[in-house]
Amino acid sequence: MNAYRHIAVLDIGKTNAKVVVLDATTGAEIAARRRANRAEKGGPYPHYDIEGLWAFTLEALAAFAEAPGYDAISITTHGASAALLAADGSLALPVIDYEHEYPKHVRDAYDRLRPPFEETFSPRLSGGLNVGAQIHYQKTVFPDDFSRVRTILTYPQYWAWRLTGVAANEVTSLGCHTDLWRPRQGTYSSLVNALDIRDRMAPIRSAFDVLGPVLPETAGLLGLAASVPVYCGIHDSNASLLPHLIRNEPPFSVVSTGTWVINFAVGGDRDRFDAARDTLVNVDAYGRAVPSSRFMGGREFEILSREIGAVNPAAVEAAFAGVVAKGMMLLPNVVQGSGPFPGREHRWMADAGARALERLAAACLYLALMTEACLDLIGARGPIFVEGPFSHNRGYLSALASLTARDVTALPGSTGTSQGASLLTGIEPTASSGAPVRDLIVGLEDYRRNWYAATERT
């Protein structure tokens, strides 16, 4: 018997933010509000519109308090972000957009400071994708503002603090390529001392902990008639992973899609990592190291979709045979700075006179090949579960199943991260409703071999 009827989840992704209410018994989304999450360009550097997101959160929670109502609140957000609080609880510096690029002398200084990959299993990434690089940049370039910092919070826990007044950090965000964490030891890395921030790091709490009830003043604004507990929160890709950890025995893989395609190999190879190819260790909700890899596949698909134009996606599978037969392909990378093929500049092959539908089919093959490469790098085995927007892309799913010769199951609910975050409250995960993809594409062996060969020549 679940302790709660309805769970409200604040789910802040890199591209979109939403507040949803989930039925605790069925996991179904019964109410939702969404807004774009765009970086503000003014100020000292590009940063997130924190007060806009907070106003949106309050508005949605207030609207849902009466109907359908909720008994608990959980939180999930994108990674690579931290909030720096002054003594009065205000932000000492804006929450930086992790895509912001720092001056070369700042990057070079950080490279001399950061721990080796063997300590953190965190690759050196572009911009502020390493939270340690963000903090170093803020401390170096804005020393007066940084001197006001009293508490450093991981991003989901910042929103929990706004709701409860309780400051915390949590390991799924600390273990997400921050350079700040030793995933195998479960302790802070040497970088925390090198940056002289240990005494400013909020206490570490479990993602499953209740940090407190909604603050009385906020509860009044929301119109809450009873005390509502707020859970500590979790990094979004780890939220997608959590239901699978509860339901399945290793080995298996989870492909969590959104702006990023994050690949988890549960029971995968914990000793074979290539820092130069965007492999890393993530840390799951239980504090365990999970071999992982990634590329910015959602952003790439957005870019390609704009370039290709309007196409009926239901028709894409009919175009695969022609694309494969003439060897039409897209080579990496559409978005630079991440993924398994660093330094490559994307280009089309054998695309003369190609129709838009053929380009979309080739784009689906490209995304599936990139995913397969990511999975292979971390020794993934067993069935593959696809979460998020790509779970609706039949062409991508067919291509991935054909390339890997493994069961690929789409979990097409739009709230994979929200559902995962709701499990922090102790409710039972709903049974998976997906079935393995059976629409396989013929002739991909030679296509794959030629794609890899062409990628190596790029």
| Distance in angstroms (rounded) separating the CA atoms of residues 238 and 381 | 19
What is the spatial distance between Cα 452 and Cα 444, in angstroms, rounded to a whole number?
A: 12
Residue type, 184: R
Contact between 37 and 27 (Cβ < 8 Å): no
d(CA 305, CA 301): 6
pLDDT of residue 270: 77
- Give the pLDDT confidence score for residue 122 in this predicted structure: 95
pLDDT of residue 337: 81
Contacts for 336 with CB less than 8 Å, ≥ 6 apart: 126, 345
* Cα 395 from Cα 324, distance rounded (Å): 13
Neighbours of 321 (CB within 10 A): 13
The number of angstroms, rounded, from the C-alpha of 198 to the middle of its chain's C-alpha atoms is 26
Can you give the pTM of this predicted structure? 0.89
**Helices 394-404 & 356-377 angle (0-180, nearest 10):** 40
Q: List the structure tokens of 368.
A: 């599936």
The pLDDT score that the predictor gives to residue 271 is: 80
pLDDT of residue 338: 83
Q: What is the CATH number of domain 6-232?
A: 3.30.420.40
CA–CA distances in Å: residue 201 to residues 122, 139, 407 = 19, 15, 42
**Which CATH superfamily hosts domain 237-457?**
ATPase, nucleotide binding domain (3.30.420.40)
User: With contact defined as beta carbons under 8 Å apart, do 384 and 375 qualify?
Assistant: yes
Contacts of 118 (CB under 8 A, 6+ apart): none
CA atoms within 13 A on the CB side of 418: 31
pLDDT of residue 434: 78
What's the confidence (pLDDT) of residue 413?
Answer: 61
Residue-wise pLDDT tens for the chain (458 aa)? Answer: 578 999 999 999 999 999 999 999 999 999 999 999 999 998 999 999 999 999 999 999 999 999 999 999 999 999 999 999 999 999 999 999 999 999 999 999 999 999 999 999 999 988 999 999 999 999 999 999 999 999 999 999 999 999 999 999 999 999 999 999 999 999 999 999 999 999 999 999 999 999 999 999 999 999 998 999 999 999 998 998 999 999 999 999 999 898 999 999 999 987 888 989 999 999 999 999 999 999 999 999 999 999 999 888 889 999 999 999 999 999 999 998 889 999 999 999 999 999 999 999 999 999 999 999 999 999 999 999 998 899 999 999 999 999 999 999 998 664 578 999 999 999 988 776 678 898 889 999 999 999 999 998 86
Which amino acid, one-letter code, is at 143?
Answer: P
The whole-number pLDDT of residue 193 equals 98
CA 240/CA 362 separation, integer angstroms: 27
Q: Which residue has the tokens 């409250």?
A: 425
How far is residue 301's CA from residue 101's CA, in Å, rounded to a whole number?
A: 22
Domain boundaries of the chain, sorted by first residue? 6-232, 237-457
The three state secondary structure string of the chain is: CCCCCEEEEEEECCCEEEEEEEECCCCCEEEEEEEECCEECCCCCCEECHHHHHHHHHHHHHHHHHCCCCCEEEEEECCCCEEEEECCCCEEECCECCCCCCCHHHHHHHHHHCCCHHHHCCCCCCCCCCHHHHHHHHHHHCHHHHCCEEEEEEHHHHHHHHHHCCCCECHHHHCCCCCCEECCCCEECHHHHHCCCHHHECCECCCCCEEEECCHHHHHHHCCCCCCEEECCEEHHHHHHHHHHHHCCCCEEEEEECCCEEEEEECCCCCCCCHHHCEEEEECCCCCEEEEEEECHHHHHHHHHHHHCCCCHHHHHHHHHHHHHHCCEEECCCCCCCCCCCCCCCEEECCCCCCHHHHHHHHHHHHHHHHHHHHHHCCCCCCEEEECHHHHCHHHHHHHHHHHCCCEEEECCCCHHHHHHHHHHCCCCCCCCCCECCCCCCCHHHHHHHHHHHHHHC
